[in-house]
Structure 1
Amino acid sequence: MLAEFDLIHRYFTPHTPGQRVALGVGDDAALLTPVAGQQLVVSVDTSVVDVHFPAQAPARAIGHRALAVALSDLAAMGADARWCFMALTLDQSRLGDDATANAWLQAYAQGFLTLCEQHETALAGGDVTSGTLSIGVTVMGEVPSGEALTRSGATVGDIIAVTGALGGGGGGLALWQQGERDLSHPLLARYLLPTPRLAAGRALRGIASSALDISDGLLADLGHIREASGVGAALDTESLPLAEGLKEALGSEKALKAALSGGDDYELLVTLPPARWRQAQAALEPLGVALTAIGHCVEAPGVSGVPAEVKTGWQHFVEHVSSDTPSPSRRREKRHE
């Protein structure tokens, strides 16, 4: 296997530094050139083997997913992605001999850098070290001053809506645990190759009153908006847009649970005044992204309209052994059965 700096040079040094990168990979730190009148949006995300992705997932998918879930945080703020930094910890013994390790790295880098290109995001630096496989990704973006979407703007009467479809992440994980390995399967693709909704987030600037991305499950993430905005929520579970093939894979009851608390969907959860509903739909239509109303904000605290047996969602350091919905903790249990 290549030594640290040779590895960085071969796999993670772009041929060109990227837009507004005055000095990128190869020095002690990067020099970036922000645009005047823009606010800098920064987020950090960590992906750990057998917590956030299966150890046997394809390397290309691991690279794609590590960046996608981080970019999703920028999408939730309505930001344009600009730069990213990656800290890659590699378990050399798990990767095997030099040929296997180099093939894994090539596929991983392809997944990561292809997504960079798709969203005009420059890999401006990072770190490589040895240890248990994990990827720390810092993403940086820009948004016009005062226009960032946040969690705190929802008011009573606002429509609660989601982009795309829900439950695909949980459904894909369930299929993986059952032995499915074909990444062309729509549910498995939603789990291992999620799409960050950056264009949708930008389109909803000035329209949505609050927003975040659905990573830990609809109910858990809705709780963040409720807390930040001081509102309650009334949901209509019959209106939830379910991912393609979810009911067929899990059955109706578990499909609903996956949509409410499965997590790993990386769709946008937004609130908006009723008067802006048609404007929001029109803004997303050219992108081919559906926007579905699933409830509204109310004055009473908590969430109504949800079956009592549905768990809230995923949190680290909390046991989830009683949930029927697949979760990272269930994934770890599966490996040792």
Structure 2
Amino acid sequence: MGEFDLIARYFQRAESQGPRHAVVPNGDDCAVIAPAAGMQLAVSTDTMVEGRHFLSTVDPARLGHKALAVNLSDLSACGAQPLAFTLALTLPRVDEAWLAGFSSGLLALADEHGCELIGGDTTAGPLAIGITVMGEVPPGQALLRSGARPGDELWVSGWPGEARLALEAFRGTLAPPLDGEAFEAVRLRMERPTPRVALGLALRGLATSAIDVSDGLLGDLGHVLRRSRVGAAIALGALPISAWLAARPPAQQHDCVLAGGDDYELLFTAPATRHADVLAAGQAAGVPVHRIGLVQADAGLRLRDGAWGAEGPQGAGIANRWTSFDHFKSS
């Protein structure tokens, strides 16, 4: 099968299928898209490489889903509505069964969010997937990393740490190991994450800053603190611990929640006066949100071993021994 036959069979949509945001769709040297009148374009790119970002044994439909999900997660952290994406796919060989599964997972998620595949490229080489996604957001309403202010509450969505638990299960480092039900549950969170698009949209005009948790909660929080020129305190007792993590030792719980990547949850700040509104936004989006910390004027991150109290995070301070994932430092 040649390159253009491959594209036509697995990635070319019929005219009646999917959204139509492109003025000039896939098939020319460039696609042309037009955001709605008065909207701004939000653009993000991610690359996934076999052996670095995913295991060779992953189900191809789940891989297709995740490849787009991690990009939609960036749009959600910006409060942007998905519009379209391009796909650059490097394949070691043409495997039609793999391509059928990959494209089905990819395009199902695209249709779920009205995000149109408008172009890309295919080439031969080690398996790698590059996606550039585009969304739209009203002027002045994009969520940024630079807006956190002292006194804001710090929130995280969902149940971070489960993807890291799955990774450790694959590595064989867990003692005792996960049972079958627990392993399948956290494996699904690692291989088929849910982009929090609806929550990102609900946080427009409410959150003061946001980032998606891809490389670890504390590491990604550091980006917000640096860009906003503020510090923060986190109450370890306020961290969300899923049922699967709750069965693990406390040190392992903290390792997974604070430093485990691949969650694609939203970490965001909002004024304390909007606490009820944040809870309502999470309920409207169908995802739990958890207050875990407080933005402070003094630079740096402070971890407290207690719960949330009348004046914010309580308890004794503990050293931050956790680091986030770095592509050029991690083995």
Normalised by the length of structure 2, the TM-score is 0.90
Q: 1:79 aligns to what?
A: 80
Give the match for residue 171 of structure 1. 165
Q: Cα offset for 1:143?
A: 0.4
Counterpart residue number, 1:47: 48
CA distance in 2, matches of 1:134, 1:53: 10
Measure, in 1, the Cα distance between the counterparts of 2:56 and 2:181: 16
CA contact (8 A) 1:176 1:188 kept: no
**Structure 1: how far apart are the matches of 2:183 and 2:105?**
15
CA distance in 2, matches of 1:309, 1:235: 11
Aligned residue type for 1:161: W
Instruction: Measure how far apart 1:182 and its partner are.
Output: 8.1
- Candidates 153, 156, 166, aligned match of 2:150: 156
Q: Which stretch of the first structure deviates more once superposed, 23-32 or 224-233?
A: 23-32
User: In 2, Cα distance between the equivalents of 1:45 and 1:263?
Assistant: 15
1:94-109 paired onto structure 2 within 5 Å: 101-109=95-103
1:252 matched residue in structure 2: 250
Higher strand fraction: Structure 1 or Structure 2? 2
Secondary structure (helix, strand or coil) at the match of 1:10 reads: helix
- What letter is aligned with 2:295? C
Residue 216 of structure 1 corresponds to 215
Alignment of 1:292-311 (within 5 A): 292-305=290-303, 307-308=318-319, 310-311=321-322
How many residues in Structure 1 have an aligned counterpart in Structure 2? 311
Alignment partners' CA distance in 2, 1:36 and 1:151: 26
* Equivalent in the alignment of 1:186: 185
Q: Does the CA-based 8 Å contact 2:212-2:264 persist in structure 1?
A: yes
Distance 1:7 1:21, change over 3 A: same
Fraction of identical pairs, as percent: 43
Segments of structure 1 that go 5 or more residues without pairing to the other structure are 93-97, 320-328, 330-337
> 1-side partners of 2:122 and 2:327: how far apart?
25
5+ residue gaps, structure 2: 305-317
Which secondary structure state, in structure 2, belongs to the residue aligned with residue 305 of structure 1?
strand
* Alpha-carbon distance change, 317 to 63 in structure 1, aligned in 2, over 3 angstroms: same
Tell me, yes or no, if structure 1 residue 20 matches structure 2 residue 21. Answer: yes
Q: Residue 76 of structure 2 aligns to which amino acid in structure 1?
A: A
* Aligned partner of 1:317 among 301, 304, 328: 328
Deviations along 1:261-288, one digit per CA (max 9) or x if unpaired, are 1111100000011011111111221222
Tell me what 1:113 maps to: 107
**1:332: which partner in 2?**
none
CA contact (8 A) 2:202 2:285 kept: no
Q: How does 1:317-336 map to 2 (within 5 A)?
A: 317-319=328-330, 329=331
Q: For residue 58 of structure 1, what is the aligned residue in structure 2?
A: 59
Distance 1:177 1:57 in 2: 14
TM-superposed CA distance for 1:134, in Å, is: 0.4
Match of 1:124 in 2: 118
Separation in structure 2 between the aligned mates of residue 14 and residue 308 of structure 1, nearest angstrom: 53
Partner secondary structure for residue 316 of structure 1: coil
| Residues 163 and 268, structure 1, Cα contact 8 Å, conserved in 2 | yes
Q: For each residue in 1:165-184, what CA deviation from the matched residue of structure 2 results, as whole angstroms up to 9, or x when unmatched?
A: 11011012122334989898
Deviations 1:48-94 (A, max 9, x none): 001111111111111111110011000000000000000000011xx
Q: Give the 3-state SS of the residue equivalent to 2:243 in structure 1.
A: coil
- Counterpart secondary structure, 2:134: strand
Q: 1:310 to 1:187 in 2, by over 3 A?
A: farther
Partner of 2:314 in structure 1?
none
Deviations 1:277-305 (A, max 9, x none): 11111122122211110010112221111
